[in-house]
Amino acid sequence: MHLLRNTHHEQLFVRHRRNPILAASDWPYPINTVFNAGATRLPDGTTLLLCRVEDRRGLSHFCVARS
């Protein structure tokens, strides 16, 4: 079996130099971590992020952030 490796591909994603955008220290209550958020721009120009957050018990829940 031969595996072909494509070494000539374009980079699909570039990590922003100020990542992570959201950190546990930004939250208004104690959490362990914030996972990558999904983002969309609303018709009024607001950016909405849907974040998965892990609380101190190890349970995940979703939070919404807007800017």
The confidence score (pLDDT) of residue 42 equals 95
**Beta carbons within 10 angstroms of residue 53's beta carbon:** 19
| Cβ–Cβ under 8 Å, residues 34 and 51 | yes
Domain ranges of the chain: 1-67
- What pLDDT sits at residue 20? 76
Question: How much is the pLDDT for 11?
Answer: 76
User: pLDDT averaged over consecutive 10-residue blocks of the chain (67 residues)?
Assistant: 65 76 92 93 95 96 92
Predicted local confidence at residue 55, as pLDDT: 96
Please work out, in degrees rounded to the nearest 5, the angle formed at the alpha carbon of residue 66 by the alpha carbons of 23 and 59: 50
pLDDT value at residue 36 = 85
| Nearest-angstrom CA–CA distance, 6 and 49 | 34
Contact criterion met (CB below 8 Å) for 20 and 33: no
For residue 35, the surrounding DSSP H or E stretch is none
